[in-house]
Amino acid sequence: MSSNLSPIDTAKFVAAKRAVDFVEDRMRVGLGTGSTAAWMVRALGERVREEGLSIIGVPTSTRTAELAAQVGIRVVSLDEARWLDLTIDGADEFDDDLNLIKGGGGALLQEKIVATASDTMVVITDPSKHVEHLGAFPLPVEVVPFGWQTTKALIEESLDAMDVLGRSGTLRMNGEAPFVTDEGNHIVDLHLQRIEDARKLGLVLNQIPGVVENGLFIDICDKVVIGHQDGRVEVIDINEGTHHESRIEFAETDNIFKDI
């Protein structure tokens, strides 16, 4: 195991290495956003360079597009690709049914569009993201800037009828200014603690004027790849009903971030 990596980075590394095994030549691949997804983009770039893998990548954010281009992945827009074979992304939480909360990195809108335009969605994560009920991680809701305070109030009012423990929301900030997504919107993070009916909540939130999209990914994820600090990797396939475990071995000097 590489001494250059912290335990959590080792978990992300092995999950990323295993997940890119699902990518085949000539695939159109959605590329997720976030710290774990960045490991995956690096691992995929390594395959492109060393194996001559020919793929097209569709990034879910500007920063992912920049990283993908840097490591040699051909990048196109979703409009150019039209439909994808596979999307690989991270998650902030996942439950036993592989429903997710995503959006901690602020790219939930593009991530959801890309994931739903794919035949298969693979999520890479670590064991700490597995929960019995979604909601401990704040649920991001992307809202248009116009009237965002009114939208936030409507969101909080709608939570009174939902089976959740918390009902407050905060505007995500970037220093002293509101955080702005790639689409020019803001994000309201909902501190719900526990969501009993995630499907119902997602539908209700998206009916509120001013809400663009929410970070609940319901019935979208097909596989979860869970990396562990000791190099073990679990793959859970919700469609096949399978759960496999393997181990990723890599040399002491291996580090797909070594050229950054």
Amino acid found at 245: E
Catalytic positions, written as ranges: 111
Give the integer Cα–Cα distance in Å for 150 and 139.
18
How far is Cα 211 from Cα 141, in angstroms, rounded to an integer? 7
- List all residues 6 or more positions away from 87 whose beta carbon is below 8 Å from its beta carbon: 29, 30, 31, 32, 114, 115, 118, 120, 121, 122
Quote the radius of gyration of the chain (alpha carbons, Å): 18
> How far from 117 is each of 28, 204, 259, CA to CA, in Å?
11, 23, 32
Calpha distance 169→191 (Å, rounded) = 6
**Length of the chain as a residue count:** 260
Angle among Cα 11, 45, 239 to the nearest 5 degrees reads 60
